[in-house]
Chains A and B, each alone.
Chain A
Amino acid sequence: MRFWRTPLDADKMKIPRGELHIIVERCKGCEFCVEYCPRDVLEMSDEFNSKGYHPPKAVRPENCVNCDLCEMICPEFAIYCLTVEEEPVPVEGGKTS
């Protein structure tokens, strides 16, 4: 999530959604993103990049809430999350119209 925007339906609680991007070749496999993602979206991959590091892979991309923590903590600028502009998922049990 880069910039906040005023929600179109402020009266309805929505879960924000993010679209995750991993720049595999730039990753140095520190695991910070995997460890600190609050939604367990990521796991370390068994694959290697060309530098010999294991990059992360998104195993539950649908869980991403666009909180940006992975992007903030990554020391390599190798992972980022963009806001999904489509209709976000309604909160479970929340009011839907």
Chain B
Amino acid sequence: MSPKGVPEAVIAAVSSEEHPIAPFLRMDRMPHIWCSTCGIGTAVKALVAAFEKLETDLDKVSIVSGIGCTGRVAGYVRLDSFHTTHGRPIPFATGLKLANSELTVIVFSGDGDLSAIGGNHFIHAARRNMDLKVICVNNFIYGMTGGQAAPTTPLTAVTSTTPYGNAEPPFNLCHLAAACGANYVARWTALHVRRLTKAFAEILVKPGFCFVEVITPCSTLYARKNRLGTGLDIMKYYHDNTVIEHGAEPADTDIVFGGPIICGKFVDRDRPTWLEYQDQHLGEVLGDKYYRGKVLQGAGER
């Protein structure tokens, strides 16, 4: 079975000895830049597995990333993708979604990108319940630029900018997304490949602002500075210290250095999306004068 939206020529060009992920990625760019044991690749694999599971039409999917190690994802997928400026994948994705509301728009970016420089966009997109699928790879650090503290760095964790340990309380991104109004909020680690795939499959078909936080090892910087061992040691840590609690109150899921990691699907609700609000309100007030008025009445193109 070949993935929908992948040209036959591409499938033919991918040799039978190649990995089954090949039709979904730009294999000429492999090996990717990510360090050994970095969890970003595993998160990408889980997303592709979700596409396969749903038999998603890849012509109707677009991926937008910001800048950072995770930001590279946009360049590796064989999809319509945008590698935008630092912190701005959500505004780009919003424009894309509103210009072509049939698209499933995925934002795939790092914790620094989405919650530091891009934090303002993040909270407002969640508040508006903009129809975006936001996947945040959280390695607790700015990976690409050398391991500086991020808004997600747990208290006391060592980074290049906090050599004596971080003294700033971090964001709990799941709590933030939930408090702002996201329709779907979940957290998994790079070890939970099956549940992560399931979560991705759920958000791909769920309307509104959906947020999945993927906790991943950054062995090169975060683990090294905090003497946490290899990436495999971190995966074992996830194995031993993850507590799965579906429906947990997001405020109670803070991540503490050396503490348990609460994972699960925390929020799954059906607030109207931004476009639904607009359509309902402006459709009523403006009728035909509303730019989507005709679309809403099924009268064809606007």
Contacts and interface: CB of A to CB of B under 8 A. Distances in A.
Contact of A69 (B41, B46, B193): B193
28 contacts: A3-B52, A21-B17, A23-B19, A26-B30, A28-B36, A28-B37, A30-B37, A30-B231, A31-B232, A35-B232, A35-B235, A35-B236, A36-B235, A51-B31, A53-B36, A69-B193, A71-B20, A72-B49, A72-B193, A72-B197, A73-B45, A73-B190, A75-B38, A75-B39, A77-B25, A77-B30, A77-B41, A78-B19
B31 A32 contact: no
A21 B21 CA distance: 13
Contacts, number: 73
A56 interface: no
A84 to B, nearest CB: 15
Interface of A: 2-3, 21, 23, 26, 28-32, 35-36, 51, 53, 69, 71-78, 80, 82
Contacts of A2: 1, 20, 52
SS class of chain A's interface: helix, strand, loop or mixed? loop
A80 B46 CA distance: 14
A3 B20 CA distance: 11
Nearest to A23: B19
Interface residues of B, number: 31
B56 to A, nearest CB: 14
Given A28-B36, A31-B232, A72 B19 contact: no
B40 interface: yes
Given A29-B36, A32-B37, A32-B235, A77 B21 contact: yes
B42 interface: yes
Given A3-B52, A72-B197, 9 more contacts: A28-B35, A36-B235, A51-B31, A71-B20, A72-B49, A75-B37, A75-B45, A80-B20, A82-B20
A78 B34 CA distance: 13
A68 B79 CA distance: 24
